[in-house]
Amino acid sequence: MNLLKSFLYKLKAFDLVVVVFYLFLILLNLIFYYDVEHWLLWVLINLFIICLTFVIAYFEYKHDSTFWHIIHYWYIAPLILLTFKELYYLIEPIRQRDFDWLFIDIDRWLFGTDVAVFLLKYSSPLLTEILQIIYSSFYLLPILLGLTLLKDKRYVALDYAVFSIIYGFYLSYLGYFALPGIGPRFTLHSFTNLNQQLPGLFFTPYLRNFLDMAESIPIGTKNPAAIVQRDIFPSGHTMITLIVMYLSVKLRSRSRYFFIPVGSLLIFSTVYLWYHYVIDLFGGLVFMIFSLWSGKYIFNWWRRELGQEEFEYDKF
């Protein structure tokens, strides 16, 4: 028990989130093994990631070197993408039902129309090009915030930012399990004619193809709606972008002057480019508020367990 506690207390708060979430994924794979393709492989991968988390935390504690500091902060980035891909194998066989009808009904009840269709009359190739580029930069925003804090050597603030972002991502993933959906690209528009109906200038079709492949839609897929990732509610793009914008302001990061305008355009682009319904954005806002509220309690609880001073925005 003392040995286990010794290893646990070398984890940072964001490591703890990784370990708990991957234990949750292991449990899902074991419970639904009959339905989940490659369930045993995913269990082994998840166990490896948990072990890797402990190893990285231990070596950083043991050696206290710049190399291990960097590894410890940045091993999170590929994990987010790997976890996203694992959801592809879990959500559809476990849930077996999409809720786009619900999101469409709510949007129509709130606005009297389909907002993604309504915005089409105000579209232009230049605007589409700009918004597609900004939308595609989503994963870079948390990285840029982290780099800014790292450059300023604000390590406790960086710990909190990394924790808030990974915790936010994993909460949004739980939302995908609760209410799977595929989005207005497939339900309100023609996915195969997207480049003709909402054209950009030069980069737009290439960026769309790249994002489609990231969502498990190879070029030329005959029935993309059947195989696309179920990942629209809450809007992770909205939730994580709002978290980054909020942290950049609360942590007084110079990057806030970049994140606020770019983040606002990114959130707008999720509806304009037909990736999300408006209710997905509201869901992202609610999840963001809950994430930051509950996350600070969890982060400070773990700091107290480690005998460290509680985090406050103005102190670090």
Q: Which amino acid is at 212?
A: D
pLDDT score recorded for residue 1: 57
Give the C-alpha separation, 247 to 288, whole Å. 11
**Residue 49: CA atoms inside 13 Å, Cβ hemisphere, count?**
27
Question: How many other C-beta atoms lie within 10 A of the C-beta of residue 29?
Answer: 23
Tell me the C-alpha distance between 247 and 241, whole Å.
10
Q: Mind listing the pLDDT tens digit for each residue in 200-230? A: 999 999 999 999 998 989 888 888 988 899 9
- Mean pLDDT over the full length of the chain: 92
**Of 106, 246, 230, nearest to 173 (Cα)?**
230
Is the entire prediction scored with pTM above 0.75?
A: yes
Alpha carbons 195 and 199: distance in angstroms, whole number: 5
Q: Tell me the longest C-alpha to C-alpha distance in the chain.
A: 65
